[in-house]
Chains A and B, each alone.
Chain A
Amino acid sequence: MEKLILPDIPDLDKLDVYKKHGGFEAAKKALRMSPDDIIEEVKKSGLRGRGGAAFSAGLKWSFMPKTTDRPKYLCINGDESEPGSFKDRQIFEFNPFQMIEGALIASYAIGARTCYIYIRGEYYKWIKLVQKALDAAYEDGLLGEKMKKTFGTDFAVEMYLHVGAGAYICGEESSLMSSIEGKRGYPRVKPPFPAQAGLWGDPTTINNVETVANVPHIINRGAEWYSKIGAEKHPGTILFGVSGHVKKPGVYELPSGTLLTEIIHEHAGGVLGDKKIKAVIPGGSSMPPLRGDQLEGVRMDADSLKEAGSGIGTGGIMVMDEDTDLLKVLWRITHFYHHESCGQCTPCREGCGWMEKIFLRMLDGRGVKGDLDLLVSVANNIEGNTICALGEAAAWPVKFMIARFRDEFEKYVGEEIKLEPADKVHSMRKTETPIAPFALK
């Protein structure tokens, strides 16, 4: 199988090596096409976003207004903070120019003269690598004003790096734009969608790093060729990041629609200690988990996973063996969303905290009958009642893990309420938390 995004070519992160292997040929070809033809080609290829929503990339580009005097922007989303995802950093390290070339073509297609590559702040090393790649591309006349001469067109795009500072929510597209504008990373109400009112109120498109890295291949070899790779409705290769209890964790580039069991057992070397699998989260921590006995025949593409009761998300596969304590896992996931909630919407800000407190109580041996239903009820009241999808991301793991592994959780809830009676009258003053400190053993 040919790898499109992370081919086995040494030193591909050097511009001359990248060019020797056909780098920037697609950009040359694209700049001779009309923007509409490029959008049409990408639409036909069936390329879908790799950042989580699996939305048609060509369709997203086509939402950008054609006739407008306002500046247009492209943002490349490399915030990559979803637990279980670590694929974009491979592109930053091993094939940054393909991302830059893809971003260049995308900018031309939507008419953006400025492109921001947003990388999470913790990627210290990779920020430097991408900046180095951008500098090399500028030096070589592939970006900025000099590209007009290089490519013989009147189109030029400036490409800049914007570094995050440790906020998961900035991977959400409207929050990412708030962050670039120099504000707290608050998501915005949609509509208006970014294509109508994005950065500074101007039309903006946000694409994932891996999504744009696919574009040069589509331009070079045609939509038809690309659409035949992998699953019919979600074509191309996908970078699957496998982590957790497997022998060979890592990023594996495979055609979409590859069997989940094949990825775990063949590519990732199987489960540590050859144990059985209790649960798998197939697309990063916000996607519903699957039971170990639900994995047979599940294919890794958006539609198959939806049918199987989960989602492709970012393709981050987290494997948990039979000895995993799912309550601890679910508490940890909820703790994460509680920590990362931006605080704008009450259901998410408060609900995530409530769920975490209930999990802590259960872990402390004081779970009560009704806790599980209470958790599902809180999750249901978060889902759909927030500005952005962090609400769903926090609610789904709770809802689905309790639904699918109820037996695992029932052992933590007693029949009777064991809460100590309060020894003081309730007051608004800050009192000690009634929850005993909990230490993970």
Chain B
Amino acid sequence: MAFEFTQENVARIEAETKKYPSKKSAVMKALYIGQEQNGWVSNEVIKAVADRLEITPEEALGVATFYTMYHKKPAGKYHLQVCTNVSCMLRGGYEIYDAIREKLGITNGEVTDDGVFSLEEVECMGACGGAPMMAVNEDFFENLTKEEALRILETKK
């Protein structure tokens, strides 16, 4: 599937490169922008980022595979990130994670058949004071209970 940055996103990447003495530094932001536009970081996105920043596709791919927040395959409309690290685990993070897995019938790294939800078991999100927590796309839900987490899923369709 061909991929090309929109004019607006080209401008955003250009602006990002101005922050650094080397264009290459904008690769993380450019990958984010590509992910935002395309939904996930495909090989075509990697190629477009590399061309734009004058780096090799391998360099861009290396960055995309090192960091966990780049989706290397399509994610759901709502990407669920459930923390199960120690602080959340002590407060019931696994109960929430297991309840979501059961309800959606998917596990870590999978997408529901209708493409609405994808699930990821994540490491500490820096919300230990509000543990347990999950993030739905960019929104943090803290001090969760199992019931509350399932209710949140009901509201997302």
A-side residues, CB < 8 A to B, are 71, 80-86, 88-89, 116, 120-125, 158, 160, 162-168, 179-185, 200, 241-245, 249-251, 281, 285, 316, 318, 320, 324, 328-329, 332-333, 336, 339-340, 342, 440
B-side residues, CB < 8 A to A, are 19-22, 24-29, 31-32, 53, 55, 59, 62-63, 66-70, 81, 84-87, 89-91, 94, 98, 122-131, 135, 138-140
Could you show 22 A-B contacts with beta carbons less than 8 Å apart?
A83-B124, A88-B126, A120-B126, A121-B69, A122-B135, A123-B126, A162-B28, A163-B28, A166-B68, A168-B123, A241-B129, A244-B90, A244-B128, A249-B87, A249-B128, A249-B131, A285-B86, A285-B124, A318-B86, A329-B89, A332-B86, A332-B89
* Bound Cα distance from A366 to B138, whole angstroms: 41
Tell me whether B89 and A121 are in contact (CB under 8 A).
no
* Bound Cα distance from A242 to B87, whole angstroms: 9
Tell me whether B89 and A165 are in contact (CB under 8 A).
no
Chain A residues in 8 Å Cβ range of B124: 81-85, 168, 285, 336
Cross-chain pair count, CB within 8 angstroms: 150
Chain A residues in 8 Å Cβ range of B125: 122
The contact of A185 among B25, B66, B126, by CB within 8 Å, is B66
CB of A316, distance to nearest CB on chain B (Å): 7
Chain B residues in 8 Å Cβ range of A160: 19
Tell me whether A86 and B85 are in contact (CB under 8 A).
no
Tell me whether B27 and A182 are in contact (CB under 8 A).
yes
Tell me whether A242 and B129 are in contact (CB under 8 A).
yes
Chain B residues in 8 Å Cβ range of A185: 66-67
Tell me whether A318 and B87 are in contact (CB under 8 A).
yes
State whether A182 and B123 are in contact (beta carbons under 8 Å apart), knowing that A84-B128, A244-B91, A324-B90 are contacts in the complex: no
State whether A167 and B126 are in contact (beta carbons under 8 Å apart), knowing that A182-B27, A184-B62, A332-B89 are contacts in the complex: no
Chain A residue at smallest Cβ distance from B123: A336
* Bound Cα distance from A420 to B66, whole angstroms: 36
The contact of B24 among A85, A122, A181, A243, by CB within 8 Å, is A181
Chain A residue at smallest Cβ distance from B62: A184
* Bound Cα distance from A318 to B131, whole angstroms: 12
Chain B residues in 8 Å Cβ range of A241: 128-129
* Bound Cα distance from A328 to B70, whole angstroms: 29
Chain B residues in 8 Å Cβ range of A333: 86
CB of A212, distance to nearest CB on chain B (Å): 18
Tell me whether B87 and A84 are in contact (CB under 8 A).
yes
Chain A residues in 8 Å Cβ range of B135: 122, 124
Chain A residues in 8 Å Cβ range of B123: 81, 83, 168, 336, 339-340
State whether A332 and B84 are in contact (beta carbons under 8 Å apart), knowing that A165-B70, A324-B90 are contacts in the complex: yes
The contact of B63 among A84, A183, A339, by CB within 8 Å, is A183
